[in-house]
Structure 1
Amino acid sequence: MTSPSMYEMNGKQYQCAIELAVSIISGRWKPTIICKLFAGKHRYGELKKGIVGINHKMLAEQLKELESAGIIHRHAYPEVPPKVEYELTELGMKLKPIIDQLQEWGELFQLSNPREGIPAENNMVTDL
């Protein structure tokens, strides 16, 4: 049983709500997937093509985790061939201002702490 100051999800305990929130959206691919879906519904293939370096297994896994957390909705249409679209839920859309703030902070951090050997202007993510 968790104490009143503890949070729990999928049997794992978190010491604060921030730790819980970060665990839901963290990882190499989840922020990029979420940012792509801010633009609207996407089919699986569109996401795969638009996220450089992600493989089929990882994209499927990340989408399932985000769906399980209530961040995205998977809509399968009764068509042949099958058509599946992903979109952010209302809860997922509430991440927009938070992600925007993280982007601003990341850009500020990058400008003040450029990685050695890579010009700061080449380190910024601009197409999320």
Structure 2
Amino acid sequence: MTKQGLKRLVTLPSEIHASAIVNLLEDNGVKAMAVGGFTSGFKAEAPGFVDVMVLQSDWVAASGVLTGLDAADPLAGVVAGGIADQTEAMASAGVDGSVASERRQNLISAIIAGLMLLCLLTLLIGLLL
């Protein structure tokens, strides 16, 4: 699968999240790939975010797989925290820009909280050593 003819389905904060979504999509018959992960020890795309890409012809089916997740499924939280393809996803769902902006703000808040936790753990480990 090459980048040509692909469309971004969702952008997620890590390769682990993106891999889980790619596996879910492939389990449902939709070919997908993660773009923006590590390449030879350095980030190939914008740091901290990985795009899940699908064929343009499979985009609607892939969106259906993600929206069909049960709220109790851990992947539902991953998808909810991601940044969906704004143009088509918002138009097809009839969502206004304020919801997308709120999602982006929630994602930024989660990233900041994660970084703060990482700093705290690093400090704690440093004190223990």
Structure 1 length normalisation: TM-score? Answer: 0.27
Larger Rg: 1
Higher RCO (Cα < 8 Å, 6 or more apart): 2
Structure 2 length normalisation: TM-score? Answer: 0.27
